Chains A and B, each alone.
Chain A
Amino acid sequence: MQDNVNDAPANAHAPGVDIIAQNVVKIFGEGAGQVRALDDVSVTIHENEFFTLLGPSGCGKTTLLRLIAGFDHPTSGTIRLEGQDISHLPPYKRPVNTVFQNYALFPHMTVAQNIGFGLEMLGRSNSDVADVVDKMLALVRMGELRDRRTDQISGGQQQRVALARALAPRPKVLLLDEPLSALDYKLRKDMQIELKRLQHETGITFIFVTHDQEEALTMSDRIAVMSRGQILQIGSPRQIYDHPAERFVADFIGDTNFLIADVTSSAGGKARLLLSSGREVNADLPEGMTPSGRVTAVVRPEHATLVTPGEGELDGMLENVVYLGTDTHYHLKLSDNAPFVVRSQNQRNEDEVFAVGETVGIALESDSLQVLRD
C-alpha cells in the first residue's frame, strides 16, 4: 500500500487509472466526540474494474463512497478522477453515479422518468433521452414496466431501475452501496450475476460496497478489506483469501487456522517455520516483511488433510467430526492445545475413517501457509 501512495502522482495521468484516493482522512464531529471515519486511506482503482470495499459495519465503507460521489468532502487528502483532483467538486459536476442502498427512486416519477432524469439534467434532447431510456430498460429487462410508478414494483425491480438510472448517463464510475442487502437469498444470487453482466457489457468501473465476504469473493476483480477507517489489504479474491496479510483479514474472510511458529530463516518473500510439532515447513511472507522469532501463520481448513500420525506436518487429537453434506469438518486439538480444523470434501467411497479421540496426523498442502504481519 505504501508503494501505491508513492507512485500515485506518476500514475495520475497514465491511462487505465480511474480513481486515486491519496491519504484521505475524514473526521466527523469535533473535540472529544469526533470520529475518524477514514484514517489515511490510499487506494488506486483501475478503469473497467469491479472493485469491492469489504469490511464490518462502521469501518468507513459508505464514507469512502460518499467522498468519491461528492456528498461529503475529505478532511484532508485528495481524490483524483483520471488525474483531475475532484475532492471539492459538488456531486452534480462529477461523472460518477450511485446506486443507493434504499434505491432512492423518485416516488413522483414513473420508471422511465426515473431512468431519464440524469440525462435530462445533463441537457440531452428529448429524443436522445427516450433512446437511452429504451436501451436501459432493455438492459435491465424492465421494458413492460416503463410507465409504472416506482412504488408499484417489487424490491428486485426497484433495484434494477436504480441500476438503470445510475447507468443511463454513462458515468465513468458507478458506486454501489450494499445494493443487494435488502434482497432475499435467491434474488441476491441472480442480481450478483446480473451485476457482473452489466459491468462486463458497459465497461464502466464499479465500486461495490458489501460486508458479505462471499459476495465480495465471487464478484470482484479486486477487494480492499477495511477495518476502523483503514484499508488493511488490497488484492484479488485469491490473494486476499489465500494470502491474508493481517490477522483481521484472515479472520474476517473464511475460516482459518492460526499456528504459532518460530522463523528459522527468511528470504525472498518466503520463510522456513519451525512448527510446534518440531517439523519445518515453507510459508509465504507479507510484502516487505522480514520476520524473526515467533510469528503467527494461517492455513485454510481445506488446505489440510488427515493422515496417519507422524506422516503429516502436525499431529493432533480428533475432538469432533461435523458432517455437512458436501464437506466434513474435523475439529482437532494440536499438541500445544491450539484448535485446528480440517475440511475435506466428501467422496463416494470414504476409505479412511478417523474416530473421535484418536491421534491423527495433519498434512498441509505445500505453499498453503501464510505468515501474518500482526
Chain B
Amino acid sequence: MNILSMKPKTFSLRYQPGFTIIALACFFMLYAPIVTLVIYSFNAGKYISIWEGFSLQWYVSAWNNEIVQDATIRSLVLALQASLYSTVLATMAALGTTRIRPFRGLTAIYAMINQPLMVPEIVTAVALLILFAMIKVATGVQGLFYLVAAHTAFCIPFAYLPIRARLEGMDLTLETAAADLYATPWMTFRRVTLPLMWPGIIAGAMLAFVISLDDIVITEFVKSAGQETLPTYMLGQLRRIITPEINAISTVLLAISLLVVSFFFVVSHKRD
C-alpha cells in the first residue's frame, strides 16, 4: 500500500487506532463500579458482594435507622447553608472581578478566590482543625457553625466559576444601555445584570450544594463529636461489618445529585 496516499487520513484525530477501545474502557471504568453499587443496593442478603435475590430491605433499614436520619438532616442543612452563603459571596466576587477595569493584581485575586482548588484538602483540613480548636478553647462556642464556615469556604470557587463565566459572556453594552435609559447603578444591577446572571448563579449554587454534600476530608477533621454527616457516617460504617445499607444510602445520594444536575439543565435551557 502507498503510505503517502494514506497520510491525510491517519492525521484525523477521530480515526486514531485504538481510539474506540480506549474510549470504551474509560466508560467501563467510570460506570461499572456505579452500576455494581446500585445493583447490590437491592441485594436480599447481608453481604455487599454476594447476590442473594432482589429486595428493598436495605432501603427500609436505612430509612428507619435513626443515626442515618440524623446524619442526613445534618448533611442537608449543612449543604443548604454552605451553598447559600458561598453563592452569595461568589456572586459578589464574580461581580467584583469582572465589572472592573483589569489591573495588575487581578490574576493574583483569581488565584486567591480559587485557593481551595489548589491547596491540598488535607492541609486545609488540618489548618481548620487547629484554628477552630483555638477558637473553641478561647470562646467556648460549639455548634454546626464551624462546619458551615468550613464548607462555605471550600464551596466558593465551585460557585464562583460558573457565575464568572456567565458574567464574562454577558454583553456589557446591555448595562450601558440601561444606564442610558435612566437606570441608576442599583436599578441596572437589579433589572438587567441580575436577571441575566441567574443561570450562572443557579449553576454555581447547585455545584456548591453537591460538593458540600459529598465532602469528607474537611468534615472529618472539623466536626465535633456527634456531628456525623452522611459521608462521615458511611466512612465510620466501613470500620465495622458493611451491609448493603451503605449501597442503598449511596444510591439515594446519587439520585439526589442527578436530580439536582438535571434540574439545573432544565432551568438553564429555559432561560437561554
Contacts and interface: CB of A to CB of B under 8 A. Distances in A.
B30 interface: no
Assign chain B's interface to a size class. 10 to 19
B192 A106 contact: yes
Nearest to B171: A104
B48 to A, nearest CB: 50
Contacts of A106: 174, 177-178, 192
Nearest to A91: B179
B70 interface: no
Interface in A113-137: 117-118, 121-122
Contacts of A70: 179-180
B183 to A, nearest CB: 5
B183 A121 contact: yes
Contacts of A107: 174, 196
A97 B179 CA distance: 10
Interface in B181-234: 181-184, 187, 191-192, 195-196
B176 A71 contact: yes
A118 B177 CA distance: 10
A179 interface: no
A90 B181 CA distance: 11
Given A108-B196, A121-B187, A169 B182 contact: yes
Nearest to B181: A118
Interface in B140-190: 171, 173-174, 176-184, 187
B179 A90 contact: yes
A165 B191 CA distance: 16
A169 B180 CA distance: 11
A166 B192 CA distance: 17
Contact of B183 (A92, A165, A166): A92
B173 A104 contact: yes
Interface in A50-77: 69-71
Which residue, B176, B184, B196, has most C-beta atoms of chain A within 10 A? Answer: B176
What is the predominant secondary structure among interface residues of chain B facing chain A? helix
A166 B180 CA distance: 9
Contacts of B174: 104, 106-107
A118 B192 CA distance: 13
A187 B136 CA distance: 72
Interface in B25-78: none
Contacts of B192: 106
A100 interface: yes
Nearest to A162: B177
A102 interface: yes
A98 interface: yes
B177 A92 contact: no
A246 to B, nearest CB: 34
Given A102-B173, A121-B187, A92 B180 contact: yes
Contacts of B177: 98, 100, 104, 106
A117 B271 CA distance: 20
A100 B182 contact: no
B182 A118 contact: yes
B170 to A, nearest CB: 10
Contacts of B182: 92, 118, 121-122, 169
Which residue, B183, B187, B195, B271, has most C-beta atoms of chain A within 10 A? Answer: B183
A169 B196 CA distance: 24
A108 B195 contact: yes
A340 B174 CA distance: 50
Interface in B218-272: 271
Contacts of A165: 181
A69 B180 contact: yes
A92 B179 contact: yes
B181 A97 contact: yes
Contacts of A92: 179-184
A104 B183 contact: no
B173 A100 contact: yes
B116 to A, nearest CB: 32
A99 B30 CA distance: 53
Given A106-B192, A108-B195, A121-B187, A97 B173 contact: no
Given A90-B179, A106-B178, A121-B178, 6 more contacts: A70-B179, A71-B179, A92-B179, A100-B173, A169-B181, A169-B182
7 contacts: A70-B179, A71-B176, A71-B180, A92-B181, A107-B196, A108-B195, A118-B182
Interface of B: 171, 173-174, 176-184, 187, 191-192, 195-196, 271
* Closest 8 pairs between A and B when the two form their complex, measured CB to CB: A118-B181, A121-B182, A104-B177, A104-B173, A91-B179, A121-B183, A92-B182, A108-B195
